[in-house]
Amino acid sequence: MTQQSAQTTLPAGTVLGNYRIERLLGQGGFAMTYLAQHTALGHAVAIKEYFPDGLAFRLHQTQQVQAVSQSQQTFYRQGLQRFLQEGQVLAGLRHPNIVRILDFMEANGTAYLVMDYEHGETLQTYLDRIDKPLSYQESMQLLLPVLDGLREVHKHQLLHLDIKPDNIFLRHNSTAMLIDFGGARQFVGSQSKSVSFMVNSAGYSPPEQYSAEPLQGVYSDIYSLSATFYRCLSGRLPTPANTRSQALLEGDRDPLPSAMSLGRGQYPDHFLQGIDQGLLLNRKQRPENVRSFQYLLQGKADENRKVRSNETVAKPQSLKGKRAAKWDEPAP
């Protein structure tokens, strides 16, 4: 294969089913997101293409996506199936705070999720733009609905595994939604033992996501959400979990200042305590589910009792044909 025989992105004008590609919105290590248009209805959509960098390449003449080598074929196909599994589960959800999957398809040796094209900005872009910490009221107004959406995700045996301000999208009406789920990428990393495919967002990923072992659970998403709250109130990126773990192993103090130490007197104590509990390195000591985490943040101590719920995650459901979603920001 010569360099001229392969390219990375789909060219403008490419037709996928009922959709015509207009331009690339964003490209990450695991997928590409395109702006496209429905050829019959004329409305704009976003299409996310499974394209794991380092595992796949595209033939220019045919647009076919293939594994880079026979030895990587198994990992490529496993990731493709998990990508479709996530799409299938998300397609069955109708929640205002979760990215909505309108359609999905397999073509060109890969898979595509079709999503609503939304106008707005990510929480990260918003925080950078205002350049100041959010108040308690602002943080709760923006992120409590995200917690509601995440509870719905967990009820359907799915984890997000990459919650961070870049993956929380704020529509123009200020409602927030979770985008860009990281479970498929995390799965490929755990199967291939490839660090490059582990979903590690520095400051937001919990310590268990730095391991190739399948240790992730509801508590992993709670850590990432706690880190997001921490960023909102502190104005700073939390210390990465692996750096914290290493410091403690060496007998040093935790280099992450507690939320309580940063926000006492400016935020309710129960809010700060909830964030600190969600950021505990020991996953077993974090809130057991999103409902419990919500109660901690809201100061509903009487309601925050250990209740068995369906907010747990089992093996992902198998997929046998469903539909997918769309939005406006690039997919990491």
C-alpha of 5 from chain center: 33
Maximum CA extent, the chain: 66
Which residues 6+ apart lie within 8 Å of 127 measured at CB?
134, 165, 231, 232, 235
Do the annotations mark residue 48 as ligand-binding? yes
List, in sequence order, the alpha helices (H) in 135-284.
136-155, 183-192, 218-234, 241-249, 259-263, 269-278
pLDDT exceeds cutoff 80 at 170: yes
- At 81, which amino acid appears? Q
Separation CA 43–CA 271 (nearest Å): 42
**184-208 residue pLDDT tens:** 555 544 544 444 445 578 999 999 9
User: 236: which 2 tokens?
Assistant: 């700073």
Average pLDDT over residues 245-254: 96
**34-90 residue pLDDT tens:** 999 999 999 999 999 999 888 899 998 889 999 999 888 988 998 899 899 888 888
Q: What is the DSSP letter of 326?
A: -
pTM across the whole model = 0.84
Angle, vertex CA 269, rays to CA 265 and CA 271, nearest 5: 115
Angle, vertex CA 79, rays to CA 77 and CA 81, nearest 5: 70
Determine contact, residues 332/166, Cβ cutoff 8 Å: yes
pLDDT of residue 82: 87
pLDDT of residue 79: 87
Confidence of residue 108 (pLDDT cuts 50, 70, 90): very high
Burial class (CB in 10 A: 0-12, 13-18, 19+), 144: middle
Domains by residue range for the chain, with CATH: 3-116 (3.30.200.20), 120-298 (1.10.510.10)
Q: For residues 20 and 317, which has the higher predicted lDDT (pLDDT)?
A: 20
pLDDT exceeds cutoff 70 at 126: yes
Confidence of residue 305 (pLDDT cuts 50, 70, 90): low
pLDDT of residue 55: 87
Q: For residues 251 and 313, which has the higher predicted lDDT (pLDDT)?
A: 251
Separation CA 246–CA 175 (nearest Å): 38
Sheet holding 31-38, edge to edge: 15-16, 19-27, 31-38, 44-50, 110-116, 101-107
